[in-house]
Amino acid sequence: MVKLIKFLALVSQAIFLQFLHVVGLVAFLAAGALGWYRKPSWLVPILAVALGVAVDKFFPGSDLAGLLEKAHKAEERGGFMILVYFVICAVGYVAGAYGRVNFSKDAQALPDAKPAPRQPKKK
């Protein structure tokens, strides 16, 4: 149980670092767009693997390494980055799909801007 809590803390620290690098925010927004536009959910793991590998290969994370050293050491492993981006993309996809559903419900709940009907005049 303690190891699971430590692992979840490590993953959350790594997600925080990726959002600080802005690449995590881009991944979150891209997955949110997939959810908003009702794209198939099998695109989420593809996006996560692509971004995880790209970040592992092309973005050195040395500028913020001193902030959370354990998370930075874990990010040096490519499989860990894929896991981190899978979590980011899955949450982004769900947030985008949920946002679309709630946005459409709110849009339907708003009354139309029609003038009030006039009462007939009594003679």
Handedness of CA 5, 61, 67, 46 (dihedral sign): negative
Residue 115 lies in a domain: no
Residue 123 lies in a domain: no
Residue 59 lies in a domain: yes
Residue 108 lies in a domain: no
Tokens of 67: 């902030």
CA 53: distance to chain centroid?
Answer: 17
17-40 pLDDT tens trace = 888 888 899 999 999 999 999 899
80-98 b/e with 16+ CB inside 10 Å = b? bbbbbbbbbbbbbbebbbe
What is the residue range of 84's domain?
2-100
Average model confidence (pLDDT) across the chain: 82
CA angle 76-67-71, nearest 5°?
Answer: 30
**75 touches 62 (CB < 8 A):** no
Cα–Cα distances in angstroms (integers) from residue 7 to residues 12, 28, 47, 87, in the given order = 9, 21, 23, 13
80-107 pLDDT tens trace = 888 999 999 999 999 999 998 888 766 6
Number of domains in the chain: 1
Task: Give the pTM.
Answer: 0.77
